[in-house]
Amino acid sequence: MESIGTTRASYSQRHFFSSSYLLILLLAPPFDRGTQDPGYIKAYPPGIRENGGQYTHGAVWIVMALARLGSGDEATWEGPLGPLVRLGPAHMDGETALAYSRIRLDSDLKRIQRQHQVMRAVMDKVMSLQLLTKTFSLWREYQDTIDTDLPDWEVPGLALLALRVGSERVTTYSLEEAVQPAVGNGGASILLAKQDKVQAILKKVFYDPRLRREGATVQVLDSSGDPQRSARFSAYLASQGLSEGRVINGGLDLPLSGSETTIFNLTDKKYTARSLAQWLNLPDGRVKGRNAAVAEAIPTGVDILLVLGPDAKVP
């Protein structure tokens, strides 16, 4: 005869293990169309949060129970749940894509990265099929399946905006490298920010898009006798939005001693040159065009040479 624990574990496997979504549900079926009213959880859509979604504590208790009952294989992801997707490119239907983006096989941060992948894939597919040009017909067809507070008249405008932006100009970032696990009061698992890493991500996100589009490579030299100034200003340029690898600190031996601060715009990168002048509070006359002697002395690929003189006030 099965024990009460074994019976309950078997019942949980039959009713709460979702092989489609790789989840261990808190309850099943969710409260949806029935007459029973369990309270606030019915306000959630079916399968979301307490209304039939996965909650960590309940899932862990079931896994612990299976392990203590000797069902080790069933307590692992290689048991009745099985693998969700294989490594590499994958063609997913809507159900699999939702499961892939929602499951917690590792951490919330990894899950967010998977959600970025799914949103990017959907966006690329929408663009490749030119679906945004059919906004009116698609919206009439599917508006009853979407719960949104957007008025109908705003949807076409947003579609046109998405067309103008394009998927190639959309970038996503994760905080995974900018946090570290820790234990808080009461033993709670928390994440602590690595401030330097957080600031680095913020600088990548909130940049001047015109600087990125121009893509100038800037080499910074110092003529004041303080090599640390060029290093500080190079770091400042990176913080202002110049792409990684586009700022070169030093590396040239030119007769520049005592020279006033000058910007040599060698390849007509006008916006970047003007920005450098503004940051250093330089008059327009300090921005020079191509200089043959200077151009011969610097490596191929450098667009702007910035010479920091004794007069430069490095931010």
Q: What is the pLDDT of residues 131-142, one digit of tens each?
A: 888 888 888 888
Output the pLDDT for position 194. 92
For residue 298, pLDDT beyond 70: yes
Average pLDDT, rounded, for the chain: 77
Output the pLDDT for position 213. 83
Structure tokens given for 291: 């200089």
Q: Does domain 209-308 have CATH number 3.40.190.10?
A: no
Give the list of residues 6+ apart from residue 197 with CB closer than 8 angstroms, or none. Answer: 177, 178, 179
For residue 73, pLDDT beyond 60: no
Reduced to 3 states (helix: H, G, I; strand: E, B; else coil), residue 210 is helix
Binned at pLDDT 50, 70 and 90, residue 275 comes out as: very high
Give the residue, 297 or 81, on which the prediction is more confident: 297
For 32-55, the DSSP string reads SSSS---SGGGGSPTTBTTBTS--
For residue 86, pLDDT beyond 70: no
Number of other CB atoms surrounding residue 249 within 10 Å = 17
pTM: 0.52
> Quick one: which of 51, 63, 47, 54 has its CA closest to 111?
54
Lowest-confidence region among 66-80, 82-96, 162-176, 201-215: 66-80
For residue 97, pLDDT beyond 70: yes
Give the residue, 73 or 274, on which the prediction is more confident: 274
Q: What is the pLDDT of residues 143-194, one digit of tens each?
A: 788 788 888 888 888 888 888 888 887 888 888 889 998 888 888 888 899 9
Listed by start position, the domains of the chain span: 209-308
Share of the chain above pLDDT 90, in %: 7
Number of other CB atoms surrounding residue 40 within 10 Å = 10
Distance spanning both ends of the chain, measured CA to CA: 78
Give the residue, 98 or 227, on which the prediction is more confident: 98
| Average pLDDT over every residue of 110-117 | 88
Output the pLDDT for position 193. 92
Q: Residue 225: left if φ>0, alpha if ψ -120 to 50, beta else—which one?
A: left
Give the residue, 80 or 275, on which the prediction is more confident: 275
Structure tokens given for 267: 């390849």
For residue 238, pLDDT beyond 60: yes
